[in-house]
Amino acid sequence: MLSKSSLFGVFICAVFTAPPAGWAKGDAAAGKEKSQVCQGCHGENGNSYGPDWPNLAAQHPSYLIKQIRNFQEGTRTNEIMNGMVAGLAQQDIEDIAAYFASQSLEPQAVETDVEIIKTGRKIFKGGNRYTGVPACAGCHGPNGAGNGPAAFPHLSGQKSTYTVKTLKDFQSNARANDINEIMRNIAAKLTDSEINAVAAYLATLK
């Protein structure tokens, strides 16, 4: 039987080891094993093998967990991904997220047209006051590193082809898993050339 004082100890431990709301601690080593199939596209270390497959390295666990759950629930739809994550249990999701989050992004080939990069940087840092586009940096951070507790994704170093696709999906409502339509409202105000420029700029960031 547990004494009153040891019960108190258990309670204190539970409070101090509880992870921030919305995500729990995963085991990266277990996640490496459990993500073998995912690595076929997203890369052994989370640097994906193709332009249509997002890098998962260095992404916030909170954001990865949210996306995997959204694919499971069907609130984010993608032919490949809905099936891929169907059988994952809660602990698997946390372990896989911990693994990819602990990996580093590798350098990639990027857009070299300085005008395009300059335009992308301008939108990212300052938005477009004529069309009401807010500065992306306001939520995604000055260097695109995102915000873990808020589950704002890390955008820097992402494959530009994927970033363009997902912004267009927000525009067309094909992707509609953003709380309060945050990204759908912003993407609706972006032109195609602004999308291309901001995606190219983000790929150049470390």
To ligand HEC, the closest distance from the beta carbon of 14 in angstroms equals 28
Amino acid identity, residue 164?
A: V
Orientation of helix 192-204 relative to helix 114-126, angle to 10°:
90
Cα separation of 1 and 45, whole Å?
Answer: 46
User: Which range of residues in 1-9, 18-26, 110-118, 152-160 is near ligand HEC by CB under 6 A?
Assistant: 152-160
Per rule CB under 6 A, is residue 81 in the interface with ligand HEC?
A: yes
* Candidate residues 31, 43, 46, 54; the one interacting with ligand HEC per rule CB under 6 A: 54
Per rule CB under 6 A, is residue 40 in the interface with ligand HEC?
A: yes
129 alpha-carbon distance from chain centroid: 26
**Cβ neighbours for 204, distance < 8 A, ≥ 6 positions apart:** 110, 111, 117
End-to-end CA, the chain: 54
Name which of residues 4 to 33 contact ligand HEC (CB under 6 A): none
Binding-site size for ligand HEC (CB under 6 A) equals 40
Nearest to 70 by CA among 138, 187, 203, 166: 166
Give residues in contact with ligand HEC (CB under 6 A): 35, 37-38, 40-42, 52-54, 56, 64, 66-68, 78, 80-81, 84-85, 96, 123, 133-134, 136, 138-140, 152-153, 155, 163, 165-167, 177-178, 182-183, 186, 198
